Amino acid sequence: MFTQRNKVLLVTVLVVAVIFSFASVMMAKEYVPGTPLKVGFIYVGPIGDLGWSYAHDEARRICEDTFPWLETVYVESVAEGSEGLYIDKLIMEEGCDVVLTTSFGFMDGTLISAQKYPDKIFAHCSGFKRNPNMMTYMADFYQIYYLNGLIAGALTKTNKTAYIGAFPIPEVKRHMGAFAVGVRETTPKAEVLVRWIYEWFSPTAAKEAAEALIADGCDVFAFTEDSPTIVQVAGEKGLPSFGHYSPMYDFSPEYVVSGQIAHWEAVYLDFLAKVYAGAYTAHNLADVDYWWLLKEKAVEMGAKPGMLMNPAYEDELKEKKVNDPVLGMISVYDLVMKRLEQMSDPSMVFDPFNGPIFDRDGNLKVPEGLRMSVFELTTIDWAVDGIVGPWE
């Protein structure tokens, strides 16, 4: 006999089945080109860090202002290793068609999610693992770190420059190496003293590291940490520094010489337009990698937009001369301008990692006449000659 209790149970089962089926359909729904597109961003830091996450969020807002068919959502301060949970929420609860994860430590979790949701589109920043529905991208600063290094080598009075690094991963080691190449080009005896803080965003750790390097005699500062703390600490001591990821001139107008400014919107606008047009789908991203540099205008050298170099330092850099094997005697100021021009040209006739380049143990890593490949740059784990301090 079919009792009232059984009827209630049956209805409950049917409702659950319908909900589950609906969720499954939603989960499996593939983006249809030309229709409204919803994109979720996952940030490792707070959007108010004024560094890495701030720059990504600026780009997100530019994209949303540019494309009327685009809707975006974001999650900030996500710990590396927990990204899978947030990807689930962006897809299942927010209905995102595309998920962009913006930290190297999100790489494995993003790949697992890409395999879990094969009909959704993923993009991972700064990594190297891809899938048919997951591409990689990077607006890289190594060329600009080299230019900053040229300036740092010219400005140091103690022959000790400083680099505070977040984590000892290839991206940061590449930037540190390029900075060291530049420093040594203008002052061959100068060194780059290193401190790792093992945090992407930690003003406290950044302050302690900067103060320790000042105590060691360092007098010019570069860094990878997502706040303006180091330019403030250096400025309080009257020491020059370079901004990182976003314009930091206003935090120390007298002492921020130049810096690196990201234009993530260059990558995002191109990628999302191609998704909307149907050129990129959940099935053809396995070989897509945006490795965008100066020539693609994904990055910019400057203390702030429109100020390539703080005018307060121009005379000193014009007085300092170096003997370049090709250009002859040239001021550091003119050398910076020439290298910037060469690396911004589509033919990119110059690269900081042109050989010969030695590691700090005296081993020849890049022979004369050769240049490091993108793969070698993105997997670099050796210390360029002139770098002093722990490497892991």
When pLDDT is cut at 50, 70 and 90, the band that residue 258 belongs to is very high
Whether the upstream peptide bond of residue 356 has omega within 30° of 0, thus cis, is yes
Average pLDDT over residues 301-309: 95
- 15: Cβ contacts below 8 Å, ≥ 6 apart: none
Mean pLDDT of the chain: 93
Burial 237-272 (b: 16+ CB within 10 A, else e): eebbbbbbbbbbbebbeebbbbbbbbbbbbbbbebb
pLDDT at 269: 98
Give mean pLDDT, residues 312-317.
Answer: 98
Query: What percent of the chain is predicted at pLDDT more than 90?
Result: 89
- Report how far residue 105's alpha carbon sits from residue 141's, in angstroms, rounded to the nearest whole number: 19
Question: Cβ distance 75 to 40 under 8 Å?
Answer: yes
Q: What is the pLDDT of residues 344-387, one digit of tens each?
A: 999 989 999 999 999 999 999 999 999 999 989 989 999 999 99
> pLDDT digit string (tens) for 260-291?
999 999 999 999 999 999 999 999 999 999 99
Spatial strand order in the sheet of 98-101: 70-75, 37-42, 98-101, 121-125, 134-139, 289-292
Could you tell me the pLDDT band of residue 302, with boundaries at 50, 70 and 90?
Answer: very high
pTM, two decimal places: 0.86
Query: What pLDDT sits at residue 274?
Result: 98
* pLDDT at res. 22: 44
- pLDDT at residue number 246: 86
3-class secondary-structure state, position 289: strand
15-19, 170-174, 214-218: range with lowest mean pLDDT: 15-19
The model's pLDDT over 2-57, given as tens digits with 9 standing for 90+, comes to 445 445 444 454 444 444 444 444 455 899 999 999 999 999 999 998 889 999 99
pLDDT in tens, 71-105: 999 999 999 999 999 999 999 999 999 999 999 99
**63 phi and psi, to 5 degrees?**
-60, -45
Percent of the chain with pLDDT over 70: 93
Can you spell out the DSSP letters for 305-326? TTBSS-GGGHHHHHH-EEEETT
Classify residue 251 by its DSSP letter: G
Fill in the DSSP letter of residue 384.
B
The predicted pLDDT at position 4 comes to 52
Contacts of 162 (CB under 8 A, 6+ apart): 192, 193, 194, 195, 210, 213, 214, 216, 218, 220, 221, 222, 223
CB-count burial class (<10 Å; 0-12, 13-18, 19+) for 192: buried
| E-state strands within the chain | 37-42, 70-75, 98-101, 121-125, 134-139, 160-165, 191-196, 220-223, 241-245, 256-262, 289-292, 299-301, 321-324, 328-331, 357-358, 364-366, 387-388
Q: What average pLDDT score do residues 244-248 get?
A: 90
DSSP-derived 3-state class of residue 267: helix
As a whole number of angstroms, the distance between CA 178 and CA 174 comes to 6
Ranges of beta strands (E only) in 25-101 are: 37-42, 70-75, 98-101
Reported as a pLDDT band with limits 50, 70 and 90, residue 245 is: confident
- Token code pair at residue 203: 């003003």
Q: What is the pLDDT of residue 25?
A: 41
